[in-house]
Amino acid sequence: MTSLTAMIGFLVDIEFLWGFQAKVIGYSKSAPAFTYPPPTTFLGAVAEVLAKKHSLGEKKGKSVIRSLSSNLLALGLRPLNFVPLRFADINKVIAVRRSGKGTYPNPRDPYGSFDAPAHGRTILSLITESEEGPTLRYYLVLSGERISLEDGRTIQLESDDLWEIHRLGSKESLVSVINLESFTPRVREGQVTTSYSFPTAIMGVQLELVDYTPIWIVERIINPFAMAEYDPLTQYILAQNLIDYNYPVIMSAGKTPSYIVRVGGAACYYEWGEERVIGVRPAR
């Protein structure tokens, strides 16, 4: 059961150094890039911070992600000052292996020692003349600060923990948290105008009107609300536990994408000031 008084929301502004690398896995060596870091990537960044803080070890990272997912009520993002540009570049990959089949790199087998697949990346191009870097705002709502781990332990997510996020995506995808607010959002239903990404597969989400001047795109990602079994490779290959997410893309300064959505039933929206994000209704 979820207590509304225990519910907590976070607004997190994350500044990127250049962009990020988070590619769609399970298709080929030259997989395309995502337009924005998927929600599971953000949960993974939070899980990394908690795992380090509580000395859980790298192998338990996925279990922390599953625990965060069980508390997740809403997770949306919106760009503040950039346009995402997806591309792929060629990178040399060196095979390092020592087994009964041989040791690599091996000068006698250069083709087996090296490869050059195209790696999908997303560069975030500023649309304003500013000293600030490309910034992405996340709106996160959890059913509570306390996270129950699979080994029976309980840890607490504090707002200061989110300041420790340092990358979203691969190790080259460096970021800095530049602003953070924590609060208790209000739960609403009915018609809402939102500028945040949102899932369309939740029962009770009805799309009504979109402003296509700033565009919206749809990407299929792992369902961040149901991650009891978190195996990205298998889930993408077999198309299991995937849902569509609508993402806003700003094309020019001063034009914020917006979508009018009606929510009810299993869905609701969370309001804090002028910020509204769509998610799942908390249990009572």
Q: What is the pLDDT along the chain (284 residues), one digit of tens a residue?
A: 344 558 999 999 999 999 998 877 666 666 778 899 999 999 999 999 999 898 887 667 678 888 899 999 999 999 999 999 988 777 666 666 665 566 666 777 766 666 666 777 899 999 877 778 999 999 999 999 888 887 778 899 998 999 999 999 888 899 999 999 999 999 999 999 999 999 987 878 988 876 655 689 999 888 899 877 766 666 666 667 788 999 999 988 778 889 999 999 999 999 999 999 999 998 76
Query: Is 54 within a domain?
Result: yes
Give the angle 278-236-61 at the CA atoms, nearest 5°.
75
State residue 25's pLDDT score.
Answer: 67
| Whole-number Å distance between alpha carbons of 198 and 141 | 13
State residue 101's pLDDT score.
Answer: 63
The torsion defined by the Cα of 107, 109, 113 and 119, in degrees rounded to 10, comes to 120
The dihedrals phi and psi of 235, each to the nearest 5 degrees, come to: -70, -35
Tokens in use for 283? Answer: 């249990």
Read off the amino acid at residue 174: L
Give the total number of structural domains in the chain: 1
Q: Are strands 97-99 and 175-183 parallel, antiparallel or unpaired?
A: unpaired
Query: Is 18 within a domain?
Result: yes
| Helical (H) or strand (E) element with 124 | strand 118-126
Within 13 Å and on the Cβ side, how many CA atoms surround 45?
25
Query: Is 103 within a domain?
Result: no
DSSP secondary structure code for residue 276 in this structure: E
State residue 2's pLDDT score.
Answer: 46
Query: Is 98 within a domain?
Result: no
Read off the amino acid at residue 48: E
| Whole-number Å distance between alpha carbons of 258 and 137 | 15
Query: Is 126 within a domain?
Result: yes
Q: The domain containing residue 140 runs over which residues?
A: 8-88+118-280
DSSP secondary structure code for residue 202 in this structure: S
State residue 221's pLDDT score.
Answer: 87
Q: In what order do the strands lie in the sheet with 118-126?
A: 19-20, 118-126, 82-90
The label of the residue with tokens 């792929």 reads: 88
10 Å Cβ neighbour count for 79?
24
What distances in angstroms separate CA 73 from CA 64, 106, 111, 192, one per listed residue? Answer: 16, 51, 49, 17
The residues facing 109 across adjacent strands are none
State residue 17's pLDDT score.
Answer: 93
Q: Could you tell me how far CA 236 lies from the centroid of its own chain?
A: 16
Question: What DSSP assignment string belongs to 243-263?
Answer: EEEEEEE--STT----EEEEE
**CATH at residue 147:** 3.30.70.3120
Read off the amino acid at residue 87: F
Query: Is 107 within a domain?
Result: no
Query: Is 255 within a domain?
Result: yes
State residue 116's pLDDT score.
Answer: 66
Query: Is 163 within a domain?
Result: yes
